[in-house]
Amino acid sequence: MVLGEIATATVTAIFLSALYAIIAIGFTLIFGVGGILNFAHGAFITVGMFAGFLATSDAFLIALPIWAGLLAGTAAGALIGAVTYLGIIRYVRDRPVTILILTFVIGFFIIYAIRIGARDVFGVNDPLAIPVPQVMGTAFLNDVYIFVTSWLLIGLLFYFVNYTRTGRAIIAVSQSDKGAALVGIDAEKINLITWTVAGAFAGYAGVLLAGAFGNGSWLMSIQPPAPLILSFAIVILGGLGSIKGSIAGAYIIGFAETFTVNFVPGGEQLAGVSSLVLLVVFLLVKPEGLFGRGAGE
């Protein structure tokens, strides 16, 4: 009986962790390349969710299928990532504190815009419950879909970063901005690509997350499972800037949360806390994380 429960919890954790990995990957990519903690990451996820909602609802006359919603979410995430970099971040790239504050502010602007847009423009009754369908018909198949595409997309990202010319340039910029400039790499272009790809992942994750949890919300970046805080915890555990580390971090947190909920008395109340406890422990004991640094590693 206990074994059965453990097996069930393990499967749940594996699925949940895949979702967490895809939530965090954009955050780690931007940190890895530019050394920037993008606190607008949660807002990028929210943008993806909202684009998914717009595509799948009848907001624009025709309600499209969820596949179009996923595409819309991914595209909207990529767009908001690119616009944020081109419009703001590139002008303050050498000022980390300014960037930190600005990404916070940008994040707030975006989510408030979504709140107003949802309620006043698109007639959503409750911006805390914006309907986004899940991808597959059943929760189990939906989990399988998330698991498979999460690994597929992260695998593609890993291949792109490690085995393509642009990817090598991304790693070069992540290790030495000036070194990259010395060999003729246009850091500006590389940063733009990074923000666009990170935004695309965030947007895609936003649609998946909303679907998996029943609906989206303008406050979803800080509502359970709080993707912004989750991303932060995952990349601290894995090692800031490391793709492999982020996957490992996502799985550690996914397992910790699932097992806390299932096997600790009163665990349901503690789901979000376990990631924070792990975050604090790692910051104190192994601040460099499991995999140190390196965008592609």
Partner 1 sequence: MSTDADGDADIDAERAGETDAAGGEPDTVLEAEDLQVSYGKVTALRGLDVTITEGEIVSLIGPNGAGKTTFCNTASGFLGYDGSVRYRGREVARVGQTELVEEGMVHCTEERDLFGYMDVEDNLELGGYLQDEAVIEDRKEFVYELFPRLDERREQNARSMSGGEQQMLAIGRALMGDPDLLILDEPTLGLAPVILQDIAEALDPIVDRGVTVLLTEQNVTFALEHADRIYLLENGEAVREGTPEELKGDDYIRESYLGG
| Contact (Cβ atoms closer than 8 angstroms) between residue 161 and residue 243 | yes
Q: Is 164 in the site for partner 1 (CB under 8 A)?
A: no
Interaxial angle between packed helices 243-263 and 271-285, expressed in degrees from 0 to 180 and rounded to the nearest 10: 130
Number of residues near partner 1 (by CB under 8 A): 19
- Measured from the CB atom, the residue of 108 and 159 that comes closer to partner 1 is 159
Shortest separation between residue 182's beta carbon and partner 1, angstroms: 6
- Measured from the CB atom, the residue of 5 and 186 that comes closer to partner 1 is 186
Shortest separation between residue 183's beta carbon and partner 1, angstroms: 5
Of 237-296, which residues contact partner 1 (CB under 8 A)? 293-294
Shortest separation between residue 292's beta carbon and partner 1, angstroms: 8
Q: Which of these ranges, 13-21, 28-36, 51-59, 162-170, lies near partner 1 under the rule CB under 8 A? A: 162-170
Shortest separation between residue 293's beta carbon and partner 1, angstroms: 7
- Measured from the CB atom, the residue of 170 and 233 that comes closer to partner 1 is 170
- Measured from the CB atom, the residue of 32 and 216 that comes closer to partner 1 is 32
Shortest separation between residue 165's beta carbon and partner 1, angstroms: 8
How would you write the chain as a 3-class SS string?
A: CHHHHHHHHHHHHHHHHHHHHHHHHHHHHHHHHHCCCCCCHHHHHHHHHHHHHHHHCCCCCCCCCHHHHHHHHHHHHHHHHHHHHHHCHHHCCCCHHHHHHHHHHHHHHHHHHHHHHHHHHCCCCCCCCEECCCCCCCHHHHHHHHHHHHHHHHHHHHHHHHHCHHHHHHHHHHHCHHHHHHCCCCHHHHHHHHHHHHHHHHHHHHHHHHHHCCEECCCCCCCCCCHHHHHHHHHHHHCCCCHHHHHHHHHHHHHHHHHHHHHCCCHHHHHHHHHHHHHHHHHHHCCCCCCCCCCCC
Shortest separation between residue 44's beta carbon and partner 1, angstroms: 27
Shortest separation between residue 85's beta carbon and partner 1, angstroms: 17
Task: Write the interaction track for partner 1 spanning residues 168-207; mark x where CB under 8 A is met and - where it is not.
Answer: xx-xx--xx-xxxxxxxxx---------------------
Site residues (vs partner 1, CB under 8 A): 165, 168-169, 171-172, 175-176, 178-186, 293-294, 297
